[in-house]
Structure 1
């Protein structure tokens, strides 16, 4: 039995490192917001709120075989706001608002790290 593994992408190592940095940063941000939030929701609900906050309307650009997403509209933030503010429930919205904004703002960190990945790849694979 012959097993061959072929990777179509040349920039495999840098992609894994940047992806790990992104998700570790997302976890650290979630932990800090949860710790400093006065109204403590359940942990799984705060994780879901942050993941919903990641949904954005973005402009996708292709630049030298790299995909760059520029976030424009915080769709997940609006969806979570609509869900939480039903029946004029302001306390529920106050619990999850910071998590939804963090989900949207972390997309700009993802943009920064994708641009950083392009520079790292150009140095390593020149």
Structure 2
């Protein structure tokens, strides 16, 4: 349940409420009121469209371009006795509903950032009861996490720039991998992000336990702490 994005869920519910309210107003304005179930079907078909995906504010958005559903409905009603004029408004509103979803999705981005700031490690490490440090490099030994002080440690942090090229070329890439100087030789598993964020991340730990590299599907953050997350290291 920790991977559920409650902001996205809330925005989706709000979008459907707005669509239902507008549809109700449109229906009441109709002089010749069609059957409600037919209106619902027409609106759902009208939702179908040819869309393009683009990234806006770091979030993948779908923008509707061609009203495929409206065209299908128009072709269907041309062969039936029912009047296209009766359902045309609802067909086009079904297509327009795509933009209601888009607008509310755009509003979701700043709201999500306020509730779940990506610039704070506690967003990704809200619950560490079952967290474990595992070595991912053959040249390091197994370490235990200082769970008693970890939550206090991650609150005192600084976010620093990621120097991926320097880290890569600064490593000793010799034939003997046991002597390679890996900047992040550990991975933290089992940590739970802040409830309702739906965030999925991979967390790497520096050898001294005072640095975290957190990678999500869309971004990376590098945090440094005054104290180590590894037990026995100050």
TM-score, normalising length: structure 2: 0.47
1:123 aligns with 2:114: yes
**Which of 66, 69, 72 is residue 62 of structure 2 equivalent to?**
69
Distance change (3 Å), C-alpha of 1:50 and 1:22: same
- CA deviation after TM superposition for structure 1 residue 66, in Å: 3.1
Which structure dedicates a bigger proportion of its chain to helix? 1
User: What is the match of residue 15 of structure 1?
Assistant: 8
Question: CA–CA distance in 2 between the matches of 1:115 and 1:64?
Answer: 8
Q: Whose Rg is larger?
A: 2
- CA deviation after TM superposition for structure 1 residue 6, in Å: 3.9
Structure 1: any 5+ residue segments left out of the alignment?
Answer: none
1:40 aligns with 2:33: yes
User: What is the match of residue 22 of structure 2?
Assistant: 29
Question: CA–CA distance in 2 between the matches of 1:119 and 1:55?
Answer: 28
Post-superposition, which runs of at least 4 consecutive aligned residues in structure 1 deviate over 6 A? none
Aligned residues: 117
Larger RCO (CA under 8 A, 6+ residues apart): 1
- CA deviation after TM superposition for structure 1 residue 65, in Å: 6.4
TM-score, normalising length: structure 1: 0.84
Structure 2: any 5+ residue segments left out of the alignment?
Answer: 118-234
RMSD (Å) for aligned C-alpha atoms: 1.8
CA contact (8 A) 1:70 1:108 kept: yes
- Give deviations 1:44-73, integer Å, cap 9, x for gaps: 000000111100101012457633011100
CA contact (8 A) 1:30 1:47 kept: no
- CA deviation after TM superposition for structure 1 residue 121, in Å: 1.0
